[in-house]
A and B are shown apart, each in its own frame.
Chain A
Amino acid sequence: MSDPQSTTSYDQNPCGIHPYGGMNQRAVHKSAVVVSHEPMALNTFRLRMTCPELARQIVPGQFFMVRLPGLSDPLLGRPFALFNVFYDANGEPTDVDFGYVVIGKMTHLLSQCQPGDELEIWGPLGNGFPLPDGRPLVLVAGGIGQTPFLAVAREALRLQKYGDPVRNIEATPSSVTLCYGVRSSGYLAGLDDFTLSGLDMQIATDDGSRGHKGFVTQLLAKILDEQSDKPVVYCCGPEPMMQAVAELTASRETPCWLSLETPMACGFGACFSCVIRVKMNDRDWDYRRVCVEGPVFPAERLAW
């Protein structure tokens, strides 16, 4: 979780999820120039843009909002998870990129944008994933839910550092595994990026066109059953998949963090659109904002 000292002072609520845990007082709202834009997989693109103020600060699991300037339809920004941060020749962070699937009007228009075009961007937003520790780290991704995990893996494997001030992991996880599930092999995105020394990538496809035929949760179950050291699981993907991962990890008493995505109008906590049910105690739940109290939540706190 983000450092509580860096957030606005506000009482810790009973469930341990900070009402403003993911609120960033140094977030910026900028115009960013598109540097590159290329296909990643079927109907999937990756877009890189220049925004040093954001690139310098952002940490794995955080997101930003992107909006097409000058348009009233689509009107709002859309949230995208950080894929990776890029540096200039002097080693200064300058660019960020994100991966996305073309689904609606906004992503369709976004897919037509060219290098040199400008986009509006605001962030970094949200809390991000906890810093890895010495325990084995298992990343479970479904579909485009893989995008937060490139930066997570690179940080965990000490291949790259993120944040301002730059954050350092205290202990490298004894292993880092990515379980990556998609419908069919054509949807596998960014495999070259994930080919990292020290990363064990396991693939599942619904149709068996690559890797394990079946669900990514089956890969996770096998790891949980076979691994002697209890791992920490980070998960991002479609809601039914995350729910299954939450149940699986709960049954194995394995800590699990889920990165949620819910419809958001603003991304910074003003609109109260993106709420999910969070358990406050054994009986009660409350709606909490995914954007500023997440998007990363401890799985056991979610009341599905």
Chain B
Amino acid sequence: MPELDVELNRLKLKNPILVASGTFGYAREMQAYTDFSRLGGIVPKTVTPLPRPGNPPPRTVETSAGLLNSIGLDNDGLDVFLEKHLDYLCGLGTALIVNIAAKNIDEFRTMAERLAPESRIAALELNISCPNVSGGVDMGSDPQLTEAVVKAVREACPHPIIAKLTPNVTSVPTIAAAAAAGGADAVALINTVQGMAVDWRRRKPRLGGILGGLSGPAIKPVALRIVYQVARAVSIPIIGIGGIQSIDDVMDFLVVGASAVQIGTANFYNPTLATQLVDELDRCLEAEKCQRVQDVIGTLQADGPVPACNR
């Protein structure tokens, strides 16, 4: 039996199959379909300091092999999260990675301080990359701000830190290096790709928020490319995200350099997929005669010219 556990610096996971923030609700929603204890970890929907109503509907629209969303971080805020969801999430027999978003560094620090005493939390994932939140500074597209926010959170709490990065920048490796410099244990790549859908006959955007974030199989090549680039540029572990819907997709991400993956949009159309992938990973590694997940991570053999925009 291959060993499925992985280490992402201070974060230890029983296996590399996680579920992505915003695609798994607060886990209660998935109870009928998922044996949570089988998963490597759960990342619930992003929590913000105060309640947010979210964006006006329509909030999602399907595009070719993809889903465009503009949910707008609809959530009840940190107080309600701590009061109503934390105990439940901590009792599921899997690592709880709390995803937080805030408008500035002070707000991120305050949230980290509030979460610091909660030793049941396995890690914090910093959403510095949501394309649907207006009003705040887009920290994830600025290397200095990225480093500063990671550093502030690192100083404010003992939890391992994952920086979840946006693909909507010129160079993700530059931002990833900044996150590493700030003390991130890992980076999660990628958040959604900014996009748009219109109904030209009505001259209207299809989303209430006008612009949205694209996810699903359509973005997998983009995500894979970015994981590959970042893996060559930074030494901290990478969590690969983007269009994963099969064990081959999981293996693709591991081979290009991800140490773990998150299942996102596929949870919506195949709610039993994540647990199924844990079984399939076990069988796949066995068939590949790998003792450990580590044996496949970053094993891509890419001969030929170094890509021009490698950094």
Contacts and interface: CB of A to CB of B under 8 A. Distances in A.
Interface in B55-109: 57-62, 64-67, 69, 71, 74, 84
Interface stretch (A40-48, A84-92, A210-218, A266-274): A266-274
Interface residues of A, number: 36
Nearest to B70: A273
B110 interface: no
Contacts of A20: 28
Interface in B244-278: 245, 265, 267-272
A172 B271 CA distance: 39
Interface stretch (A71-79, A110-118, A157-165, A201-209): A71-79
A263 interface: yes
Interface stretch (B2-10, B29-37, B117-125): B29-37
B25 interface: yes
Contacts of A27: 32-33
Contacts of A10: 28, 84
B30 A265 contact: no
Given A11-B84, A26-B32, A272 B54 contact: yes
A272 B269 contact: no
A25 interface: yes
Contacts of A168: none
B24 A270 contact: yes
Nearest to B31: A25
Contact of B65 (A8, A24, A29, A72): A72
Interface majority SS (helix, strand, loop, mixed), chain A: loop
Size category, B interface: 35 or more
A83 to B, nearest CB: 23
A268 B30 contact: yes
A28 B32 contact: yes
B67 A75 contact: yes
A133 interface: no
Given A75-B217, A286-B53, A270 B29 contact: yes
A262 B32 contact: no
A67 interface: yes
A74 B269 CA distance: 11
Contacts of A25: 31-32
A96 interface: no
Contacts of B62: 74-76, 265
Nearest to B217: A72
A39 to B, nearest CB: 26
A67 B67 CA distance: 15
B25 A270 contact: yes
B216 interface: yes
Contacts of A269: 25, 28-29
A304 interface: no
A29 B271 CA distance: 7
Given A76-B62, A265-B67, A271 B268 contact: yes
Contacts of A234: none
A77 B59 contact: no
B45 interface: yes
Interface string B9-46: 00000000000001111001111110000000000010
Interface of A: 8, 10-11, 20, 23-29, 67, 72-77, 120, 122, 262-263, 265-266, 268-276, 286-287, 292
Interface of B: 22-25, 28-33, 45, 53-54, 57-62, 64-67, 69, 71, 74, 84, 216-218, 245, 265, 267-272
Given A11-B84, A265-B265, A265-B268, 19 more contacts: A10-B28, A27-B32, A72-B218, A75-B65, A76-B62, A120-B269, A120-B270, A262-B57, A265-B62, A265-B69, A268-B29, A268-B33, A270-B24, A270-B30, A272-B71, A273-B57, A273-B60, A275-B57, A275-B74
